[in-house]
Structure 1
């Protein structure tokens, strides 16, 4: 015992400066000496640990480690390359140790010599590497060319779907897993180049797994030389099947799409959202009239410059809106060509996102839709013309049924009167009235003929200057018998010099409809009085047509007063088209009409006519 202690004293500095974490203990597990590395390795900050118990110095060590020390104090050596412990302070720690008992002069155990390493950091790194290999499905391999002995990591076996203890036994067996033909030949050639010339390889090939399945892998390899001779080749093997097959499918689809696009004259483009790098195909340059060989600046700026000025802001807003998750990604714009003609483009945009939903690239196609747009404009114009012609036919039908009916009624009444009248003077007066009525009918038929020959596309050419007072008195005379029947009075305050720019048949129809409405819907308790006034406002003739008839409930019918098939009284002959036609005719001539009314008081129409 004395000699051991004296040896410790002699070698105390040697132990203290030892480059390993070593310590000596007595039989009570009290420290006799320790290296600085031991103190640092285990985070011991006590200045002097001599004669202090091991577990007092390291109180968080697990009780299980005390059992190991106790066994060694019985004369047993113990060694472990790494064991994981949960310390009492909650930390996980990996320990590697080598423990030998030292003996006294009498042969009894006097204590222990401990080499105790904390390998937690190394183990954590190993676990991270292992986890990374599993996530990336990447394994390592090597082949010793001196012994032709191969080594695979477990992940290589997993990728190959082989037993975990499988290792190729011969050089040739290392290559049988590659698909026969092009893929195997590629790897054999790459291996030969590495062994002969030291050329590394990095290839993507198909291998056949142990279960007979085809699998895309990436294999990298390089050679190690000693004294100019290749002694080893080594590398990695990665399973890339999950993304390689979709990549190949995408390429195939892209090639088919490219062929289809070329045949359909559709341009394609790509735009990197991070760098601004832009790629166009030749068709896209042609569609936007940009010289592929001689343009300056970025393609984006050239594209923006090619747009019609009226479309730039709208297109920008639509693109930003789609980037932010709104809209369909389909937009239309016009390209202004050097000869000032316009080319209509339809573009479809798709934004690609990465694994973290980050947007990184925009893809799109552009198509010339000028012909379609021109056809659309023609169809729209045709539809407008058709609608206008329908309105004209409606007006014509109304005037035929309404205007001619008024004349026929007037003529019928006058004919009856002349048959019954015996007085020559009275008959002469009735004949004059009949002659006037016939002339009015002739004029109406002439105007109707003008309407038939016109459409709303040439309605402006049919507008003519008509004296408004003359037109009013003519229509009033045409329905003179109705005035007599209803005992109506017409009060005129119309400037005899005022003329309006109208279609004569339309004006006659408007006035006739207003007159007959006032007389048909007059109050039963009083004679109908019609007041017609004109005023010149802003170079337009404003005509007011006011009666003291039944009136209309504006709160109930105001919104629909000019609607089709809208009636407001219970007259048997009310059809609900008169005011609809009247408004239609006035607006066709560039005028306006409004109405105010009160039940049992009367109705007032205000019409503005163009004068030129």
Structure 2
């Protein structure tokens, strides 16, 4: 806390000044905390309200406010807590002796002090006027009850400072809910502009009539009001704007409904796609819509008041005048009329005349003329199409006949005659059940009645012994009766029975059997197929074999291969990895054999499915053993190289030096120098042995790698912090682009080692002639896992010369820099241990780029 020149702290000094002001002021001063309790009180409280400051200390201010003003004052207090400054707010306080004292308040909330500072002035003028107001109260109340719905005072900010009871209640508000609020905030958004304009006008005039606006009631409804605002700012007794409002909702709604009805009728009249006119008894046109005007080709002003005789052709005039007279007798009449005009095709009209009733009878007639030329032409076309349809029915390969509601034949085609051995001329108009009584005891009778009773089409297959044929029947009910299509399916049924026999045999063998149609869609599978895959016949019927058993590791091209080979009509074999319904992997060997008909066309395929999972697993294990042997042989060669090149030399040196030292004087310089050489050789052996230990440790942990959810950006940042001093020393710049929320299920130590070795190499092998720039990027892969891009502008190396030695142990490509050739070997080992891949490209004197793909479960959610 700072102190002023007197040495008193600023906050304490402010308190001293506040106390002095409050003691000397004749105004009513106080400070309230956020709960409404007095924190400070001025001396004027005792003079104005009879209370000594200590009597009200730590009491709530509502205890000394008139009960009638407590609710509105509490609402104003809460608004001020929200940061709204309160000015010229009037309420009544209770004097210690019991009478009311009106006070105007200015109030502000201090967020810093957590106090509300209040400055009040006694409303002396209001005290003098109270007696006069009480005298007039009775008369005024009567005027209010039978006058405007809302009367009140507004300040210059258009805020309610006073409201006459019971105005707020009429709009379903308590008075305190409106006091202190802006009038414009209660108006409909569409009416705010009008009200704002009236408010600006009244500031420069005495009285303004506000246009009709919508005021929001307490129940959420919008009420229409008419309002008058008068300017009394210059009146010292008021100093406010007086507003009176009257609820005109019912009247306004009636007017709006009338306007809407007139507009709706006008819109229907003007926008009607048919021609419309309004006529008097003599046939004079009093109004016409756009469609009629367009048909006449004259301006509207030349049509209005002209007689219908001058507009329409003479041969169409007589019926128009005849029906006009009938309409004026009160009838609605409709008639068809053909209008013939020179150089134009005839126009067919359907005319309706409707009388318009008034107090003294029919005062006019609305005439609507609808162009039905196209409809009449359509009827002709339909008649011709019906004739053509009959010809089509004769030519279709299916048998077809139509029955009316009495079950009598209305139409029979030639195919029906042939199959049922009928003569159509003898059958038309006769009952189907009387001509073919055998059908009454067949499925025909049952399904035909079902179609008629339900109004739904039926589809069934049935056998008629009389004809020794199987039929497929489709019957469609309509308003005219029943339309029936049927065809001979005897050959298909016989083939189906043969298939069922074949299925009986196939159901007993242990291998899965699939029978498909010519297109390769499944028709039947045996129980062994269900045991092998978990899928039942109803689940796979009509599907292509193999398309519903695919999984993440399946070859997605197998399904298309099957479809392509099925079309060749030759036997073929496919082995494929599928998934059982449970999600378990299973390998199948599938033999496809086509079934050909006499014309050598494919009718079906038979597929034998054999589970070869055990064989495939054995092959996979053998392949894995081969890979392990290859890796072990490669490691053995690497170890042999280390022992023969890196371990043998320091061992030979150590042995030679040990032999040499045994023959030297321990106090000679030669002895000390040889001992130093011996120590160097031993350290080299130790380094090689530690490298071997590290390699063996990595290999041992390769199959038991501990994984956890690792924030990739966090590990990268740890490495960056470690090399920060070195980067700054060499004026290097490291840019990192990766989503900080990416988390990968992997090994944290290996990930750290990867970033560490790559950044260490970039710094070590930087180019001498330019500042080092390193970029690390990390992105999610659509198939899962992440891809890490690492690039620098360092010295690089010749990839052609490095060949396949890039990631090998103890291989170095910069002879002028110290190192053991372990970094890239460790990076590759760690990446592959985590199941990933690494690629490197480099150019001499340009830089190096490394791309690493790491698999694993990904989480990009911050809380993952």
- TM bin, normalised by shorter chain, reads 0.3 to 0.5
Provide the TM-score with structure 1 as the length reference.
0.35
With a CA cutoff of 8 Å and minimum separation of 6, indicate the structure with the bigger relative contact order: 1
